[in-house]
Amino acid sequence: MKKLKLEELGRISVEEYKFSEKLPIVVLLDNVRSLHNVGSAFRTADAFRVAKVYLTGITGQPPHREIQKTALGATESVEWAYFKNGSELVQQLKSEGYTILVIEQTTSSLSLQDFKPQANSKYCLVFGNEVSGVSEDIIEFADYALEIPQSGTKHSINVSVCVGIVVWEMAKKFI
């Protein structure tokens, strides 16, 4: 066994990425305050070919040095857009046929591994603020709340880690 060099990984170019087939998933970052979490979400979106990243509210936007530090160029490959009002964006996405999945602990949360995406459907995964979670005005329009099962003493997982877990779990169901 030997570690592969970057040129041995067979990665596609940014141009090839832009025209490649994407997962029927978009990521929405709702008032995420840490620019490192934003950059990490972009990098995860690139890794799994998420269709688009939406940034709302106070969420920082590229270009920013702190986002680039963790994104490592993924802001160039992954399509993204900023909307001031997250609930208006969610309503627009619903009208475009997206199923809205908030990643949040609610009275009706479904365990992540139990969610079964439907073929030929599109999904918007909503991740919230590091302290207050997904905004109530977005939860109001959610089709489902998904929760990552946890058994430790903490009640939450860092946003960037959460994005990685949820996108990977969803990607497995489409691959």
Cα–chain center distance at 145? 14
Q: What is the pLDDT of residue 72?
A: 96
Strand partners, 147: 111
Q: What is the pLDDT of residue 138?
A: 98
Domains and CATH numbers, the chain: 21-174 (3.40.1280.10)
Compute, in degrees rounded to 10, the torsion defined by CA atoms 100, 104, 106, 110: 70
Q: Are 60 and 38 a contacting pair, CB within 8 Å?
A: yes
The per-residue pLDDT string of the chain (175 residues; one tens digit each, 9 = 90 and over) reads 999 998 899 999 999 999 999 999 999 999 999 999 999 999 999 999 999 999 999 999 999 999 999 999 999 999 999 999 999 999 999 999 999 999 999 999 999 999 999 989 999 999 999 999 999 999 999 999 999 999 999 989 999 999 999 999 999 999 7
Residue 134 CA to residue 101 CA, distance in Å, equals 11
13 three-state secondary structure: coil
Phi, psi of 131 (to 5 degrees): -105, -50
Q: Are 126 and 163 a contacting pair, CB within 8 Å?
A: no
Q: What is the pLDDT of residue 175?
A: 79
Residue 117 CA to residue 156 CA, distance in Å, equals 24
Q: Are 2 and 126 a contacting pair, CB within 8 Å?
A: no
54 three-state secondary structure: strand
